[in-house]
Amino acid sequence: MLILAIESSCDETAAAVVEMEQGLRRIRSSVVASQVDVHALYGGVVPEIASRAHIEAISGVVSRALTEAEMTMEDIDAIGVTYAPGLIGSLLVGVSFAKGLAFAHGKPLVGVNHIKGHAAAAYLTDETLEAPFCALIVSGGHTSLYDVTCPTSFVEIGGTRDDAAGEAFDKVGRVMGLPYPGGAAMDRLATAGFANGRGEMFRFPSPAVHDESYDYSFSGLKTAVINQIHTIRQRLNLGDDGELPEDIREGIAASFTRAVVDGVTAKLRRAITEKKIRRLVLAGGVAANSHLRAAVESVAKEMGVTLTVPPLSLCGDNAAMIGAQAYFEVLAGNFADESLNAYASDEEAAFV
Ligand code: KG4
Ligand code: ZN
């Protein structure tokens, strides 16, 4: 089955063609047009600018995905599109475009949840992966552990009660003066920090909520790191946003990353034991973090869990992952029609 997929939930306009069959999962094309440069000027995504940029890009991005796959709309069996969660104006651009395309070409339309899409990147990584499995999705908007009972049914067993891990990475990066989004730059700084023995330079609170749940809370950690940065700037007379010394930058990045990784893996370990998890997927933009990948890999190895982590190109937002999930939605008969709407949150979209 050939699926044309469209993703526009945040600041990436993406389209892809994936070929999915029993025993065959192939990305025929995957085009991602990033708006990062535009939003970097403002230190974060500006929703109105994002919607306008999607409108400008979407037609060209979809055409390129078809051209690179050496296909026309005639070859496509179904159209998949992200409809939730995300920025409502951004989502609406993709949903409206997909509806128009489906109507004009008489193709079936499938609405895909973005988080389910992140997990579905794992199907494209490991052709043998089948549900049930557990999915740890760590992104700019989510930090959640799901029991994926079948490819279309996700039950959240733990999640963040406030900020997501990616938000914390970006906010700390911004206060340190790193370009938006700060995640990848923080990753590199932390690597230097660990190499120079600065992983314990600062002691920050754990994002693992101290109770029997599998929940996280990143806002306390984020605030503690930001307060630490302000205190150091005052002590060194650097002004409100003065450049921190390199050893301090490395120490903050490494100590913060250690708190994130230790907190995330602490809950994960307990979930693996208590929920008897045998197959695990780690996905989402923050799954690109080298330290988180390494830590989850070692937890999985130690606890005898089979782990799938998509390559970096399939961790950040892309449309191939949406196409992979769309395939399973088609198999389940979950088709949309011209009434398909976009929803900012999982709750509004009736996630499960
Ligand atoms: O999944 P994603 O592309 O978009 C959402 O669905 O939110 O995730 C984006 C997030 C951003 O917060 C970005 O800073 C973070 O993923 N990110 C990273 C890394 N690469 C991207 N965070 C930590 N380390 C990285 N290497
Ligand atoms: Zn995402």
- 271-282 pLDDT, tens digit per residue, is 999 999 999 999
Nearest to 313 by CA among 2, 14, 11, 3: 14
Contact indicator for 333, 305 with CB cutoff of 8 Å? no
Percentage, residues of the chain above pLDDT 90: 97
Residue 116 has pLDDT above 90, yes or no: yes
Ligand 1 atom, smallest distance to 86 CA: 6
Query: DSSP letters along 174-241, please?
Result: HHTTPPSS-HHHHHHHHHHHHHTT-TTSS----SB-SSSS--B--HHHHHHHHHHHHHHHHHTT--TT
Place 348 in a pLDDT band, splitting at 50, 70 and 90.
confident
Confidence check: pLDDT of 352 > 70: no
Mutation to probe ligand 1, out of 286, 291, 318 (largest number of atoms < 8 A from CB): 286
Ligand 1 binding pocket, CB closer than 6 Å? 10, 139-141, 166, 169-170, 181-184, 186-187, 284-286, 288-289, 316-317
Tell whether omega for the bond before 245 is within 30 degrees of 0, i.e. cis: no
Picking from 330, 328, 321, 351, the residue whose alpha carbon sits closest to that of residue 5 is 321
- Mean pLDDT of the region 324-335: 98
Residue ranges matching CATH 3.30.420.40 in the chain? 2-129+313-349, 133-310
- Quick one: pLDDT at residue 339? 96
Nearest CA residue ID for atom 13, ligand 1: 183
Ligand 1 atom 24: the closest Cα is on which residue?
289
Cα–Cα distance, 253 to 281 (Å, whole number): 25
Contact 206, 262 (CB under 8 A): yes
Give the pLDDT of residue 232: 98
First to last CA, the chain: 25
What is the model's pLDDT at position 347? Answer: 86
* pLDDT higher than threshold 80 for residue 350: no
Return the CATH number of 133-310, one of 3.30.420.40, 4.10.490.10, 3.40.50.300, 3.40.50.2300.
3.30.420.40
State both tokens at 154. Answer: 């996700």
| Cα distances (Å, whole numbers) of residue 347 to 289, 338, 352 | 28, 21, 9
CB atoms within 10 A of CB 248: 21
What's residue 123's pLDDT?
A: 98
Which pLDDT tens digit goes with each residue over 284-309?
999 999 999 999 999 999 999 999 99
Q: Which stretch of DSSP H or E encloses residue 162? A: none
Beta-strand pair 153-158/143-150: antiparallel
pTM over 0.85: yes
Q: What is the mean pLDDT of the chain?
A: 97
Q: How far apart are CA 84 and CA 91, in angstroms?
A: 7
Query: Mean per-residue pLDDT for 318-347?
Result: 97
User: pLDDT tens across 209-256, in order?
Assistant: 999 999 999 999 999 999 999 999 999 999 999 999 999 999 999 999
According to CATH, what is the number of the domain 2-129+313-349?
A: 3.30.420.40
Choosing from 116, 160, 169, 290 the residue with most ligand 1 atoms within 8 A of its CB, the one to mutate for a pocket test is 169
pLDDT at 319 over 80: yes
- pLDDT value, residue 110: 98
Report the Cα 296 to chain-centroid distance in Å: 16
Is the pLDDT score of 96 beyond 80? yes
Report the C-alpha gap between 272 and 116 in whole angstroms: 20
Burial 253-289 (b: 16+ CB within 10 A, else e): bbbbbbbbbebbbbbbeebbeeeebebbbbbbbbbbb
Nearest CA to ligand 1 atom 18: 183
Place of tokens 């903050």: 252
| E-only strand ranges, the chain | 2-7, 12-21, 24-34, 78-84, 109-113, 133-138, 143-150, 153-158, 279-283, 306-308
Look at residue 177 and tell me whether its pLDDT is greater than 70. yes
